[in-house]
Amino acid sequence: MKKHAVVIGAGYGGLSCSALLARDGWKVTLLEKNGQTGGRARNWVSDGFTFDMGPSWYLMPEVFDRYFSLFQANREDYYGLLPLNPYYKVFFSPSDHACLSPNLQENIKLFDSFEPGGGAALQRYIDQATYKYHIAMKEFLYRDYKHLTDFFNRRIIFEGLKLDVFKKLDSFVSTFVSDRRAKQILEYAMVFLGTSPVDAPALYSIMSHVDLGLGVYFPQGGMAGVAQGLEKLCREMGVDIQTNQEVTSISVTANQATAVHTREGSFSVDIVVSGADYRHVECELLPPQAATYIPSYWDKRVVAPSMFIAYLGIGRRLSGLEHHNLYFSDPWETHFDKIFKHPQWPMEPCFYLSCISKTDASSAPEGCENVFILVPTAPGLADSEEQREAYFDHIIDHVREVTGEDLKQDILVKRIYSHRDFIQDYNAFKGTALGLSHTLRQTAVFRPASRSKKVRNLFYTGQYTHPGVGVPMVLIASEVAANEIRSAYGP
């Protein structure tokens, strides 16, 4: 008889961990609250438009290829990849914009146009980011940290100093470039990690190797297509995936989880793995005495931003936009301040706008465009219907001023998604889109553990655990959790 693992939540974390457990000989039941798998990376289909609801940047392709190779499988058999060119377009003001290219020489020229010596500085910056990336992949990311000494040992401190773990990104970038636009290109990805450049460790300069070095891709079927690829892999491995199954509690006896309960029934378990929001499981599904991280722990964390998102089907082609478009306001500190220090709706925000129909014709009817607008916002903001609509009008005007594209008259499909949707759909603490920010004090050993300290057969994967936020990181987290389970229970 196989032992039974119940996995909670079919986002990238739950899906990727389920397949690994099934590979290791567990009977796996994957329970998902929503009607579809993919979690924050689900898609939404309406009137001929197919929107990726969450992530849209496919980065670090080698992480996905490595994951599929753990099953002697080829990623290409699950979904294809298209390289993007340009990688992305940046608007610095209505009259100043630039494209970042797969050709490094083009990017060097761009940085030279920003400031004297800018190109050489970019080259040096990318070189150090590439070096750090390789050390991080080898020494930091694919490993678990249980005790402070796992992190603060001599080797890691030695490597950590080389990686600039203990410096801050913003001041680090300033030692290379001083032009606002150059700095913003080297720092914007911190928003992907749910933090601001002034708080992020300089280790995350590796993100410039991730986008400009490793490249930006578009997966067939969008990011939801990748989740569907993982779902296919799970089914091939024999995972029993049950959707519309919200877990309502976990029974614990003598420090062991014994059963997982949904509204439909109960499942006896040998182990439980959670890919759902960590705080929800600890504070709402476990009996209070079984939680390692109680509510006061979460109240002291830096919670990553929520997001105001508009999915728009536009009834005409848009000429001034690329697949990925970013707007960086001047100064952008005002926006970060309204996320992290003085929470309120930002009125002059940076934004991200994707138009995946530039690459994927099937994502919109002929002659139309698939538009996704995202504004990072503070977690925990009040999000009434009136507030959303007023903010939407404001953002649409802002997009017109910055990009010159007046979308308002041509909207065929519109859906707004914000704080309360993250709470309702994913049980997200304060409506966070990304979980916990990547500050130094929430990195590696300081993230919530991948194994409960109170319930010995309860494990965690997903964006709250090490190495953290982002789809590739979540795949790595599942490999780390599966290795931990394997060393505790054998293959």
Ligand X SMILES: Cc1cc2nc3c(=O)[nH]c(=O)nc-3n(C[C@H](O)[C@H](O)[C@H](O)COP(=O)(O)OP(=O)(O)OC[C@H]3O[C@@H](n4cnc5c(N)ncnc54)[C@H](O)[C@@H]3O)c2cc1C
Closest to ligand X by CB, 253 vs 424, is: 424
Tokens of 148: 């402070």
Binding stretches for ligand X (CB under 6 A): 8-14, 31-34, 39-41, 54-57, 59, 246-247, 275-277, 280, 307, 309, 374, 426-427, 433-434, 462-463, 469-471, 474
Closest to ligand X by CB, 151 vs 192, is: 192
CB of 190 to ligand X, least distance (A): 13
The Cα–Cα gap between 359 and 343 comes to: 36
β-strand partners of 253: 256
Closest to ligand X by CB, 54 vs 160, is: 54
DSSP state of 213: I
CB of 11 to ligand X, least distance (A): 2
Closest to ligand X by CB, 245 vs 329, is: 245
β-strand partners of 260: 250, 267
What separation in angstroms does the CA of 290 have from each of 146, 151, 294, 398, 451? 19, 26, 9, 48, 13
CB of 52 to ligand X, least distance (A): 8
Give the count of alpha carbons within 13 A of 264, CB side only: 10
Do strands 4-8 and 324-327 pair parallel, antiparallel, or not at all (unpaired)? unpaired
CB of 419 to ligand X, least distance (A): 12
DSSP state of 140: I
CB of 352 to ligand X, least distance (A): 8
CB of 283 to ligand X, least distance (A): 12
Closest to ligand X by CB, 307 vs 364, is: 307
The Cα–Cα gap between 44 and 248 comes to: 26
The closest alpha carbon to 271, from 459, 454, 449, belongs to 459
Closest to ligand X by CB, 56 vs 196, is: 56
What separation in angstroms does the CA of 58 have from each of 119, 133, 219, 222? 26, 17, 7, 9
What separation in angstroms does the CA of 33 have from each of 8, 236, 241, 327? 9, 22, 11, 35
DSSP state of 414: E
CB of 220 to ligand X, least distance (A): 16
Of all residues in this chain, which one has the CB nearest to ligand X in the complex?
A: 11
Closest to ligand X by CB, 237 vs 433, is: 433
